[in-house]
Amino acid sequence: MNILPDGRTPDEIMAMLRSFKAYDMDWRSGRVFAYVYQPDATTATVVNDAYVLYLSENCLDPTTFPSVAQLESDVVRMVAGLLQGDEHVAGNVTSGGTESILLAVKTARDWARAHRPQIAQPEMVLARTAHAAFHKAGHYLGVKPVVVEFDPATFEADIAAMRAAITENTILLVASAPCYSQGVIDPVPVIAALAQEHELLCHVDACVGGMYLPFLRAAGRAIPPFDFSVPGVTSISVDLHKYGYSAKGASVVLYRDRSLRRHQIFASTDTTAYTIINPTALSSRSAGPIAGAWAILHYLGATGYQEMAATVQAATERLIAGINAIDSLYVLGHPAMSMFSFASNAINVFQLADALRRRGWYLQPQFSTLRSPRNLHVSVTYGVAHNVDALLADIAASVEEVRQMPPIDPALVRSMVEALVQDRSPAVVEGLLAAVGLQPGALPQEMALINEVLDTLPDAAANEVLIDFFNQLY
Ligand SMILES: Cc1ncc(COP(=O)(O)O)c(C=O)c1O
């Protein structure tokens, strides 16, 4: 495609964009239990208006747009207060959970360079349930992720394994509050105490819990301590674009004090160009997400968030009880909030995900690990909470449908896995994708076979296949 010699009209452009969406999952249906965190229509308008008002303001230079710095500071202070931080807590608004985590790991690395200069190859210890953003941060920043397992009954990080994994190269321990995959909170006080004992940093990934658990607690629920009230917790990531219900591009990374946050900031006067001072990874960036976050925090207030969390939690509990009551399905671990996953001891859950997709629902397949079976992830959010009874009815019907279906041919899976292990040339990967009907621009309906193949492949090979796939996609 080339740039058109002459442009199109705004109406034509909007019509084209709307037509493209026909291929996408229709999250407005309230049937997509992942990816989108949608508040009610009025709240969404407040966010959108604020976002658009600040769309073109650039966070690059707070001296040019001081109001942007003020909005960011306000957002950081509100979130720090929610997480029981005192006036010493410092932080920034970032583009998302991944950036918050990247920055926390960079900060830990550079803190260690200053305070543990003898460490040449820094390591961070995290449970297998921790988010892949830590692996990405390790990959980008040269900090080795040392993965420990979890208790297969509770899905909490295995503390004895964590202790055993600490070496003279360890700089950081990680806890999730909760982990995305099963919605389980790690024993943060124990992990933070372990960090203190070894004079390490401790990051709590509260990307999903930070804007939700405090409101459950305020409503009288027993929520274990996970924030700055826990001695030894040195940084926290919290996403506003998840249960903060702000527009995408808004997360907060917080540090116990400024001496730690200092390691996050980059400055450069080394070029012929303008002075760079970047607290976050990006340089030029729209102030829209910050304004959207500021607006929703002011609009909903604590009461608004508490009411939304109560609605979502009630729906989650109905859904969990209903799933556990369906023959052969069971929820994994002890989910602390509104995300969880379930497995089956009788049917293939990848086929179940496809059957649900044919009925218009999206639940997210998750692969098996050494200690956990393959499962489907469910994120209950405000925009889908009203639909849990309809979902339950369709899960029950889909389980029966899958029982009647032929299982995925193990010989076919084996041959695909063997082909991919031996040869991942573009032709082989393309052949596999064509065989499962995956092509650019179309919404794949049947993912069970490809999920089966990816789940069977060793992790390293599966990662390579996924990279090859993306590299060929466009
Ligand atoms: C616990 C947790 N941490 C980090 C992330 C990464 O966040 P993002 O997708 O905003 O980069 C997620 C995303 O779901 C998450 O659930």
Q: Do both 189 and 63 map to the same domain?
A: yes
Task: Label residue 290 by pLDDT band (50, 70, 90).
Answer: very high
Radius of gyration for the chain, computed over Cα atoms and rounded to the nearest angstrom = 23
pLDDT at 274 over 70: yes
Residue 321 located in a structural domain:
no
Q: Is the pLDDT of residue 434 over 90?
A: no
Q: Residue 439: which pLDDT band, with cuts at 50, 70 and 90?
A: low
Mutate to test the pocket of ligand 1, among 207, 282, 366 (most ligand atoms within 8 A of CB): 207
In a domain, 43, yes or no: no
In this structure, is residue 56 part of a structural domain?
Answer: yes
CA 179-172-282 angle, 5° bins: 75
Mean pLDDT of the chain: 95
Compute, in angstroms, the gap from residue 206 CA to the centroid of ligand 1: 9
CA-CA-CA-CA torsion sign (160, 162, 165, 171):
negative
Q: What is d(CA 9, CA 127) in angstroms, rounded to the nearest whole number?
A: 52
Give distance in angstroms: CA of 124 to centre of ligand 1.
18
Ligand 1 atom closest to the Cα of residue 178 is: 1
Kindly state the average pLDDT of the residues 102-129. Answer: 98
Q: Read off the DSSP letter of residue 157.
A: B
- Using CA atoms, how far residue 137 sits from 18, 69, 145, 463, in Å, is 35, 26, 9, 16
Identify whether the C-beta of residue 159 lies closer than 8 Å to the C-beta of residue 150: no
Q: How far is the CA of 181 from the centre of ligand 1 (A)?
A: 10
Which strand ranges, in their side-by-side order, compose the sheet holding 329-331?
A: 329-331, 339-344, 375-379, 364-366
Kindly give, in sequence order, each residue whose CB lies less than 8 Å from that of residue 416, ignoring residues fewer than 6 positions away. Answer: 432, 435, 449, 453
Q: Is pLDDT of 209 > 70?
A: yes
Atom of ligand 1 nearest to the CA of 248: 10
The pLDDT value given to residue 420: 85
End position of a domain, from candidates 229, 262, 296: 296
pLDDT at 445 over 80: no
- Cβ count near 426 (within 10 Å): 11
Cα 217-124-369 angle, rounded to 5 deg? 75
pLDDT digits (tens, 9 = 90+) for 58-100: 999 989 999 999 999 999 999 999 999 999 999 999 999 999 9
Which atom of ligand 1 is found nearest the CA of 130? 1
Last residue of a domain, one of 263, 296, 329: 296
Category of 142 on φ-ψ map: left (φ > 0), alpha (ψ -120 to 50) or beta = left
Residues pairing with 378 in the sheet = 340
Q: For ligand 1, which residues put their CB under 6 angstroms from it?
A: 96-98, 101, 131, 133, 176, 180, 205, 207-208, 239, 251
| Ligand 1 atom showing the smallest separation from residue 209 Cα | 1
Last-in-domain residue among 268, 296, 324 = 296
Q: How many CA atoms lie within 13 A of 204 on its CB side?
A: 33
Please indicate, yes or no, whether residues 425 and 277 belong to a single structural domain of this protein: no
Query: Is the pLDDT at 461 greater than 60, yes or no?
Result: yes
Give me the amino acid identity at 307.
Answer: E
**Atom 9 of ligand 1, residue of closest alpha carbon:** 97
Tell me, yes or no, whether 278 and 414 share the same domain.
no
- Per-residue pLDDT at 22 exceeds 60: yes
Q: What is the pLDDT of residue 442?
A: 62
pLDDT of 441 reads: 57
**Alpha carbon of 97 to ligand 1 centroid (Å):** 5
Residues above pLDDT 70, as percent of the chain:
98
| Whether residue 344 has pLDDT greater than 90 | yes
Q: Whose CA is nearest to atom 14 of ligand 1?
A: 180
pLDDT for the residue numbered 286: 97
pLDDT (average), residues 161-180:
98
Q: Is 177 a domain residue? A: yes
Q: What is the pLDDT of residue 232?
A: 98
Return the closest-CA partner of residue 285 out of 46, 54, 50, 104: 54
The pLDDT of 337-343, averaged and rounded, is 98
Half-sphere exposure of 214 (CA within 13 A, CB side): 24
Per-residue model confidence (pLDDT) at position 261: 98
Mean of the pLDDT values across residues 188-195?
98
For range 303-319, the mean pLDDT: 98
* Ligand 1 centroid to residue 16 C-alpha, Å: 31
Q: What is the mean pLDDT of residues 428-444?
A: 68
SS3 readout for 236-291: EEEECCCCCCCCCCCEEEEECCHHHHHHHCEEECCCCCCCEEECCCCCCCECHHHH
Reported as type and span, the H/E element at residue 58 is none
Mutate-to-test residue for ligand 1 from 131, 181, 366, highest number of ligand atoms within 8 A of CB: 131
Centre of ligand 1 to C-alpha 207, Å, is 6
Spacing, Cα 253 to ligand 1 middle (Å): 12
Instruction: With a cut of 90, say whether residue 428 has pLDDT above it.
Output: no
Q: 107-111, 405-409, 465-469: which range is least confident on average?
A: 465-469
Q: Binning pLDDT at 50, 70 and 90, where does residue 472 land? A: confident
Length of the chain: 474
State the Cα angle at 56 between 55 and 62, rounded to 5°.
Answer: 105
Residue 366 pLDDT greater than 90, yes or no:
yes
**Domain at 286, CATH number:** 3.40.640.10
Region 296-319 average pLDDT? 98
Which pLDDT tens digit goes with each residue over 144-153?
A: 999 999 999 9
Whether residue 135 contacts residue 145, with contact meaning beta carbons closer than 8 Å, is answered with yes
Residue 446: pLDDT band with limits 50, 70, 90? confident
- Would residue 271 count as lying in a domain? yes
Q: Is residue 391 part of a domain?
A: no
Percent of residues, the chain, with pLDDT higher than 90: 89
Structural domain span for residue 100: 50-296
Same domain, 292 and 421: no
Count CA within 13 A, CB hemisphere, residue 384: 27
Spatial separation of the C-alpha atoms in residues 419 and 425, rounded to whole Å? 10
Local confidence band at 429 (pLDDT 50, 70, 90 cut-offs): confident
- Quick one: which H or E segment has residue 146? strand 144-148
Q: Is pLDDT above 80 for 310?
A: yes
Q: How confident is the model at residue 186 (pLDDT cuts 50, 70, 90)?
A: very high
CA of 329 to the centre of ligand 1 (A): 26
Q: Is there a domain that residue 13 lies in?
A: no
The lowest-confidence range among 211-225, 257-271, 379-393, 429-443 is 429-443
- Please state the rounded mean pLDDT for residues 403-408: 96
How many domains in the chain? 2
Q: Are 152 and 282 part of one and the same domain?
A: yes
What pLDDT, on a 0 to 100 scale, did the predictor assign at position 333?
97
Does residue 156 fall inside a structural domain?
yes
Band of pLDDT at residue 440, cut at 50, 70 and 90? low
In our burial notation (b when 16+ CB lie closer than 10 A, e otherwise), range 241-274 reads: bbbbbbbbbbbbbbbbeeebbebbeeeeeeeeee
Write out the H or E segment, with its range, that includes residue 297.
Answer: helix 288-324
How many angstroms is it from 180 CA to the middle of ligand 1?
7
Which is higher by pLDDT, 46 or 22?
46
Q: Say how far apart CA 98 and CA 239 lie, in whole Å.
A: 10
Q: pLDDT category, 427, cuts 50, 70, 90?
A: confident
Query: Confidence class of residue 36 from pLDDT cuts 50, 70 and 90?
Result: very high
The gap from C-alpha 110 to its chain's centroid, in whole angstroms, comes to 24
Nearest CA to ligand 1 atom 8: 97
